[in-house]
Amino acid sequence: MEENKNNIDDRLWEYIDGQSSVEEKPAIERLIETNKQWKEKYHELLELHQLVQSSALEEPSLRFTKNVMEEIAKYQIAPATKAYINNKIIWGIGIFFITLVIGFLIYGFGQVDWSAGGNEKLPIDISKVDYGKFFNNTYVNVFMMINVVLGLMLLDRYLAAKKKKLQKEA
C-alpha cells in the first residue's frame, strides 16, 4: 500500500517537474482525469509545488557586497590549476612506477620453475622462497639503479622547468 502511494507520488512529481517520458505523460493525464485518488494527490502536490516556487529568497545585510569587495582586495586570483600542474611530470611519475611494477613482475616470473610440481600444487612453495635473494641479485640492483637514474632525470627536468619559469618572471 505504502509502496503504491510512493509510486503515485514519484510519477506525479515527475509529471509536475516535466520529467515524464512522452509515453508516460498521457497515461498520467488520463489517470488524473479518471482516478479520484490520483486527482486528489495531483492537486495536493501541485499546490505544494506552487507554494515552494513562490517562496522568497533570504537577503543578506546591505553591506554584504561591500564586505566581500573589501575582503577580496587582500587577495590575488590564484593561477588556474591547469597552469601549474605539468602533465609531463605526472606522466613521468606514472611511467616510472609502471616500469617498477613490470620489472618486478618479469623478475618474479623469471624465478618460477614452471616444470616443477603437479596439477594440485602451486608451481612455487611460498614458505621456501628466499626473499633475501630478491634484493641481493645483480639484476635487481641494475634495475633499481635504472629507476634511480630515471627518477633523478625527472627531478632534474622538474627543477630546470621551475628555474626557467622563475627566470622568465624575473
Partner 1 sequence: MSTGPSDSEIISLVLKGDHNAYALLVERYKSYVFTLTFRFTKNREDAEEVSQDIFVKAYRSLADFKGTAKFSTWLYTIVNTTCITFLRKKRLDVKSLDDERTFEVADSQDSGFRANQVEQKSRLIMVNQAIAMLNPDDAEIITLFYKNEQSLEEISQILGVEVNAAKVRLHRARARLKDKMEKHFTEEIKDLH
8 within 8 A of 38, measured Cβ to Cβ: yes
- Least distance to partner 1, CB of residue 13, Å: 5
- Least distance to partner 1, CB of residue 81, Å: 6
Q: 36-53 vs 2-16: helix axis angle to the nearest 10?
A: 50
Which three three-digit cell numbers place residue 111?
Answer: 624465478
Question: In whole angstroms, how far apart are CA 13 and each of 8, 56, 142?
Answer: 9, 22, 67
- Least distance to partner 1, CB of residue 18, Å: 10
Residue nearer to partner 1 on the CB measure, 1 or 78: 78
Residue nearer to partner 1 on the CB measure, 58 or 113: 58
Residue ranges that bind partner 1, judged by CB under 8 A:
9-10, 13-14, 17, 19, 44-45, 47-49, 51-61, 64-65, 67-69, 71-73, 75-83
